[in-house]
């Protein structure tokens, strides 16, 4: 699978991703992870998964395409936005 390497990812940008727990995530350059909406045990919450290139054992995200700069201002907005994307576009 072709994917964007970690050096091509931009902090705070939304990406279409291939990951264990989601299809959309916002890249966090500080820890090379993507924040996504994860559903588990009936609840949905923000969860970070690491870029595939950066963690040999737990790097599970392969970003497929950059979508846009994410301009959401708080975690609640981000969670609702990612839930919407998962339901509407996946």
pLDDT recorded at residue 90: 64
Per-residue pLDDT of the chain (90 residues; tens, 9 = 90+): 799 999 999 999 999 999 988 899 999 999 999 999 998 998 999 999 999 998 777 788 999 999 999 987 799 999 999 999 888 876
- Residue 65 sits at φ, ψ, to 5 deg, of -155, 140
pLDDT recorded at residue 88: 83
Beta bridge partners of 68: 14
CA 55, 57, 60, 63 dihedral sign is positive
DSSP secondary structure string, 56-75?
Answer: TTTEEEEEEEEEEE----SH
pLDDT recorded at residue 16: 96
Domain ranges of the chain: 6-89
**Residue 41 to residues 13, 24, 45, 75, 85, Cα–Cα distance (Å):** 28, 20, 11, 20, 20
How buried is 44 (Cβ within 10 angstroms: 0-12 exposed, 13-18 middle, 19+ buried)?
middle
């Amino acid at each position: 699978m072709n994917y964007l390497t970690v050096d091509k990812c931009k902090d705070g940008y939304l990406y279409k991703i291939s990951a264990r727990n989601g299809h959309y995530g916002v890249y966090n350059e500080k820890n090379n992870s993507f924040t996504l909406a994860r559903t588990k045990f009936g609840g949905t919450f923000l969860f970070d998964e690491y870029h595939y290139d950066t963690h040999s054992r737990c790097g599970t995200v392969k970003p497929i395409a950059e979508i846009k700069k994410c301009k959401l201002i708080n975690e609640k907005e981000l969670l609702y936005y990612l839930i919407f994307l998962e339901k509407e576009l996946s």
